[in-house]
């Protein structure tokens, strides 16, 4: 969503890049994370955006892949948001995260 890439979003992205402790390089296109999943003993959960430019077309593939490691996977898709789902749909993501970890929600 071009409207979500406001001045604050661009500033945050630039600062995050500047402060990164490592360069992700080829991690997104490698199988390094896939090879690590069998050793994960924690509960897996995921939040994706339906309109993510990188993953959008492959969301169901991601769901199936992660569920192959944990059948009770909590996997959620936020409609209408893109790659910056945490920024674009902060309220929905926060509510999903709180629900996933079982935290009580604060009422306004």
pLDDT by residue (tens digit) across 44-99?
899 999 999 888 889 999 999 999 999 889 999 999 999 889 989 999 999 999 99
59 Cβ neighbours under 8 A, 6+ residues apart: 48, 50, 52, 77
Model confidence at 107: pLDDT above 60:
no
Q: What contacts 96, CB < 8 A, 6 or more positions away?
A: 47, 76, 78
Query: What pLDDT is recorded for position 54?
Result: 85
pLDDT value of position 20: 82
The pLDDT value recorded for residue 90 is 92
pLDDT, tens digit, 9 for 90 and up, residues 6-43: 888 889 889 988 888 777 777 667 888 889 999 998 88
């Amino acid at each position: 969503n071009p409207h979500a890439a406001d001045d604050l979003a661009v500033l945050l992205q630039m600062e995050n890049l500047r402060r990164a402790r490592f360069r992700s390089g080829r991690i997104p296109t490698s199988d390094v994370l896939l090879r690590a999943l069998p050793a994960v003993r924690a509960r897996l959960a995921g939040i994706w955006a339906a309109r993510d430019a990188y993953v959008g077309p492959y969301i169901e593939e991601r769901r199936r892949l992660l569920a192959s490691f944990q059948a009770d996977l909590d996997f959620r898709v936020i409609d209408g948001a893109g790659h910056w789902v945490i920024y674009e749909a902060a309220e929905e993501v926060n509510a999903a995260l709180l629900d996933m970890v079982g935290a009580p929600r604060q009422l306004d």
